[in-house]
Each structure stands twice: as C-alpha cells, then as structure tokens.
Chain A
C-alpha cells in the first residue's frame, strides 16, 4: 500500500528540491511566511510547556514535530474557509489567524479561549476524538447549500481513524460530495498506542478507497508538500469534486500532554535522536539556504519579534480580568430556563462564589 500511496515530497530530507513543479508558487515570500509561522508556533509551544511546568497554566498539549503539517495546511486555506481543529492543532489555528490571547486563555481554563477567533471560522477545538469530522462535513454541505465556494478542513490524529465518527464523517461527505478536506496527522502515537496497534492497514491514506475518494499520503515534515497537497485538495473540493483524505506522516516529539510521561511507552532517547534528523524547521531552513533566501539577520529579528509578542500575550493572559461566575449560566440557552436562573441566583447571592 505504501507503493500505491507514495509519500508526496516537495523537498527531500536534505532540503533540496524533490519536485520543482511548484517553485513558482512557492516563492520567497511564501516560503518565508511558512517559516515565520512555524517558528512562531514552535516558540509558542515551548512557552506553553514552560508555563505549565511553572504552574502558570493548566495541562498543556504540545505539538512539537507537527509544525510543518499544521502550518502548511492552515496557510493553504482561504479566508472564508472553515477550520475544525482538535486540542493538538492550536498551531494550525494560530497560523490561520486565531487570537493568541484567546488561545492562551484556553490553556488557563478560561471559556473565553474556547473560541479562538470571532473573525475567522475557527471552531473550538474538539476534545472528544473524531466527533468534529461530521461537523466539517455538515458545514461544508451548508456552504454548498448556500451556493458559496468555500470549503472546510477537519484535523485529526491517527487514533481518530478508529472511531466511528471518522467513518461516518467521511462516508456522508463522500455521498454528498461535500467540499471538505480530512487532514490527518499521523504522528505515530495515540497517547501510548503506536499506530501499528491502532490499525491493521499499512497507511491511513488507503482508507479513502473505502469511500471512493482520493487518499493522499504526504510527508508531514515537509511544509511545502503539505501546503501544496492541502491546497490541491481544497481546490478540488471547491470545484465540486468532493472530499479528500490526506495523511500527513509526522512525529510527536514530546509527550501527549504535560500530564503524560512518554518514557513509559517508548524510547524517548531514540525519539530525541531522530528529532534532530527530521525536524521540520531545520528542513525548511536547509531548503531556504539552498535557494539563497535564508538570512540570519532576518531570522534573528523574527525570533526576537515573536518572543516579544508571546511575552506580552502571556502577561495579558495572566492579568486578564477575573472570570465572571454568571458566564457559567448565561450561555447555556439564549434565555436561561427557570432552573438555571434559580441556580444562578443561589450562587450570586453568595457573592458569586460557590
């Protein structure tokens, strides 16, 4: 099956062109933009882990290793397209235009952060596995219903492909030719379970065959390949040709969450050694150097700018107004039912504290 679903690469592991077809499209500005977002979300991710370790936020879900998959896919989206991420796809959300402050608030246990953007269609991260795949299908069908040319994208991991909602979402999308891209990040592990024990099929891409839709296997460490593959799938969807399943083969360098210890189920030293070889940021850097579009001074200033942006956002997150207890009651229904109104009053009469 790996022969039938070859890994699509635009650059090799050494960063050199593997497929120069897209050189014009992947111009200097585009590549620099992809690099900027990867650097930004990696820095954010490192800060996230550190903040959790310092007890300044709650459990954090790191995504290091998946920057190319998340940025490449997010930057391929059109302004009006819809993104349905999981809890590990905050890198993609940020690259697509999520509000950094909202993102940080979410890790700090604040409901305000659940919706990361009020400008773009970035949905709250789905916590239950694969349940948002039918949502992406439905939102896509609504676009068709309204006669627009927008598409949707659903993010999910390798473990999600074992859930019923994966099947139901893909099946319905294929039957109705919904303009949706199912973007899988196969990072090798669902918490502790390696993908070999998750499924008996050799690839995730081949599962597309069951739905009569295209399945694409792309090197998830190659940001250029991810960008091109997702863009092509989106274009296809927008032309009315239905959904595509993309498997981005990637790696989760770190733990499942900051509450997880990966050394319990895998040799983390091996992962750390491999990391140096496959790191998607190093790969794009090599590529840029090969094309003579790498500039150390530019990189340093980016790095500085991002560090400053994050420090300011973290400071705003920590100084954000205290949560309002009435929020818990005021957004269940448009108008609170009498039971909710009664309960709300009970806690308000205690000074807003339980």
Chain B
C-alpha cells in the first residue's frame, strides 16, 4: 500500500490501468473484497445486474451471492441490516442507488450508524461505507439528481467524501473501507464515464479529510468538489485570458473539511469563490466561509462569492442546467472578487 503522494514522488513505473471513474470504483471494490473477507456489498440491483451504473459489474460472479447481495428494495432495511452486520464484526459496503433515495435510510444513519460508537463508548463501532451516486446534469428523472451532502456533513459521527477523478475514487474508496467509522462516499454520476486516469493496480489510500490543489495561481482561490471540478477548472483556465490566475482546490472531503488547504490558499490570494451544486442555504459553502472567517479573516481582500445550486428542489431535467452552476456564473464570480 502506498500513499498517493509517495506514489507520484517515487517516479518508479507503477502498474496502472487506464480507467474512468466507474471502472476505478469497480476495481476498488474488487480490491477490498479480495483483501478482506469481512467486507461485503449490499444494495439494489448490484448483483446479477452489476448495479444500475455497473459499479459492481462482475463482482457477484467473482465473489458469490453472500458477498455481493441483491437486497430487496428497502433502503432503511438494508442500511439497518448493514448496522447489524457491522455490530457483528463485518464491514458492509452499501450502495444507495441514487443519493435522492437515501431518505428512507436517514433515520438509520442519524440514529444508529452515526451513534453506535458513542452509545457504546467504543465497544462497538460502525466500519461501514455508504456509496451513493449524486447530482444533476445527466437528464435523470425527478429525485435522482439531489446533492444533499450538507445533511450528512452536519450529522455528527459520519465522514463525507466525494472524489472527482478516477484516481481519487479508488484511493478514497479504499481509505473509506479501511476507516473504522462510517463514511458516506458520494459519486458524481456526471463524471462516472468521463476522463480516464492512470489508476494503480495496487492498493493506495487517499487520506480522508485532505483536499488537493489541482491548479495553482495567485489571484483567486476556487473551492469545489465532485461534479463541479471540471467547470471550476474550465473557468479558471478561461480567466487566464484576462490575466487572472486561480488556485483551484478539490476539497474531496466534506466532513471533515481540510482547514489547512483552505487557509493556506486564502492567505495567499485573499479572494475566494466557492462552488457547489447543493442548495445554497446551509450548504458546505457556508461552512468553508466559516473556516475562512476563523483562520484568514484579515487576509481577505473581497467578500467571498458562492456559486451554488438554488434553494429550490432540483428541477426536472428541462431546467437542470439552469439550476446547476455554470462556467459563466463562475467566471462572473471570479471577476467580481477580483475587481472588488
């Protein structure tokens, strides 16, 4: 097992596969099932069908029905079942077909998944990963496009992560499975079949709670994650034409947030744009502003701008692109903080 940074530094030839995100997740799941007999997968249509997005394709054939379980259509039921399994020494990895389908399981997560370690003073704990594709932009039906990471970041006792690349997806997934506490693993379905990355064959972990700087610049700090990363990078690239250079930071971990990476960048630029597709009010963006307020208030040169989803139910797909942050809205925000 090597850490991602070490992997980059060694310069040695590491055996990799060229994978998109869904393939990297499949590869990550295969890796953990091979490595640890205590792990097993539960979810709707994940076995024979290989998952509606094919994240678990081929895994039931390889590992059997006891390790890759097609559950009844029962989110509260199979998250609750996973609680019982975790109490009894297993490490369940649960797939919620779409994040918008997690609501029946909300009570299980809020009252048991997140509280078991506390309620038993550590005698029992919940080594559980809940995977959920999220977000708009792929013309899904209603409710299939929600981006409600903030509900869970607010909830004590669960970590929330969200990769934006195939490489991070495998590394974060393996770290989430290794973590002794529950992790909500959000998968941007809009990026599932996007860009391919070189994904190492061997196990590697990306530390939970750590963001990554994906573009460096000195004028404005852009914070985003998941499905917003490609447009954040595109906007930053476009701003170069106006001689504005941006730090673009992929936070990757939404609870806990990476305070250092946020503070370091803001203290350099003094200007901030935060992007997320979840609703604005009570969103993670407000929490990032709170961290900036606490760590870097006197470094600020302009009021912080947020480019987010609106405080409305995610619309049906005819209007979803109007709901979602766009490159144009991000560029306007960058200009606004730059010219303040």
User: Are A and B bound to each other?
Assistant: yes
Determine if B167 is an interface residue (Cβ-Cβ < 8 Å).
no
Determine if A339 is an interface residue (Cβ-Cβ < 8 Å).
yes
Q: Are A141 and B84 closer than 8 Å at their CB atoms?
A: yes
Kindly identify, within residues 87 to 119 of chain B, every residue whose CB is under 8 Å from any CB belonging to chain A: 87-90, 92, 104, 107-108, 111-112, 117-119
Residues from chain B with Cβ under 8 Å of A176 in the complex: 69
What 0/1 pattern do residues 118 to 141 of A give for CB contact below 8 A with B? 100001101110011111111111
Give CA–CA (A269, B128) in the complex, Å. Answer: 50
Q: Are B81 and A114 closer than 8 Å at their CB atoms?
A: no
* Distance from A282 Cβ to chain B, minimum over Cβ atoms (Å): 37
Q: Are A164 and B76 closer than 8 Å at their CB atoms?
A: yes
Q: Are B83 and A134 closer than 8 Å at their CB atoms?
A: yes
Q: Are A171 and B72 closer than 8 Å at their CB atoms?
A: yes
What 0/1 pattern do residues 52 to 91 of A give for CB contact below 8 A with B? 0000000000000000000000000000001000000000
* Distance from B47 Cβ to chain A, minimum over Cβ atoms (Å): 13
* Distance from A338 Cβ to chain B, minimum over Cβ atoms (Å): 6
Residues from chain A with Cβ under 8 Å of B72 in the complex: 168, 171-172, 175
Determine if B255 is an interface residue (Cβ-Cβ < 8 Å).
yes
Q: Are A135 and B80 closer than 8 Å at their CB atoms?
A: yes
The listed residue (A124, A139, A334) touching B84 by CB distance below 8 A is A139
Q: Are A138 and B119 closer than 8 Å at their CB atoms?
A: no
Determine if B10 is an interface residue (Cβ-Cβ < 8 Å).
no
Q: Are B256 and A138 closer than 8 Å at their CB atoms?
A: no
Q: Which residue of A lies closest to B181 (CB)?
A: A333
Residues from chain A with Cβ under 8 Å of B86 in the complex: 138
Q: A128-B107, A331-B118 are in contact. Are A139 and B80 (CB under 8 A)?
A: no
Determine if A111 is an interface residue (Cβ-Cβ < 8 Å).
yes
Q: A135-B84, A137-B81 are in contact. Are A333 and B157 (CB under 8 A)?
A: yes
Q: Are B112 and A334 closer than 8 Å at their CB atoms?
A: no
Q: Are B119 and A131 closer than 8 Å at their CB atoms?
A: no
Q: Are A141 and B117 closer than 8 Å at their CB atoms?
A: no
Residues from chain A with Cβ under 8 Å of B129 in the complex: none
Q: Are B88 and A134 closer than 8 Å at their CB atoms?
A: no
Give CA–CA (A127, B111) in the complex, Å. Answer: 9
Residues from chain B with Cβ under 8 Å of A134 in the complex: 76-81, 83-84, 108
Q: A134-B77, A175-B72 are in contact. Are A143 and B119 (CB under 8 A)?
A: no
Residues from chain B with Cβ under 8 Å of A112 in the complex: 121
Number of A residues whose C-beta is below 8 Å from B? 45
Q: Are A172 and B108 closer than 8 Å at their CB atoms?
A: no
Determine if B31 is an interface residue (Cβ-Cβ < 8 Å).
no
Determine if B222 is an interface residue (Cβ-Cβ < 8 Å).
no
Q: Are A141 and B256 closer than 8 Å at their CB atoms?
A: no
Q: Are A123 and B87 closer than 8 Å at their CB atoms?
A: yes
Determine if A146 is an interface residue (Cβ-Cβ < 8 Å).
yes
Q: A334-B180, A337-B209 are in contact. Are A171 and B77 (CB under 8 A)?
A: yes
Residues from chain A with Cβ under 8 Å of B76 in the complex: 131, 134, 164-165, 168
What 0/1 pattern do residues 141 to 167 of B give for CB contact below 8 A with A? 000000000000000110100000000
Determine if A302 is an interface residue (Cβ-Cβ < 8 Å).
no
Determine if A169 is an interface residue (Cβ-Cβ < 8 Å).
yes
Determine if A298 is an interface residue (Cβ-Cβ < 8 Å).
no
Q: Are A172 and B118 closer than 8 Å at their CB atoms?
A: no
Residues from chain B with Cβ under 8 Å of A152 in the complex: 84
Residues from chain B with Cβ under 8 Å of A146 in the complex: 88-89
* Distance from B29 Cβ to chain A, minimum over Cβ atoms (Å): 18
* Distance from B180 Cβ to chain A, minimum over Cβ atoms (Å): 5
Residues from chain A with Cβ under 8 Å of B329 in the complex: none
Q: Are A140 and B84 closer than 8 Å at their CB atoms?
A: yes
Residues from chain A with Cβ under 8 Å of B268 in the complex: none
Determine if A145 is an interface residue (Cβ-Cβ < 8 Å).
yes
7 tightest A-B contacts by CB?
A138-B84, A134-B80, A168-B77, A142-B88, A138-B81, A139-B84, A135-B84
With A131-B108, A172-B71 already in contact, 7 other A-B pairs whose C-beta atoms are closer than 8 Å: A138-B82, A141-B85, A143-B88, A145-B90, A168-B76, A172-B78, A337-B209
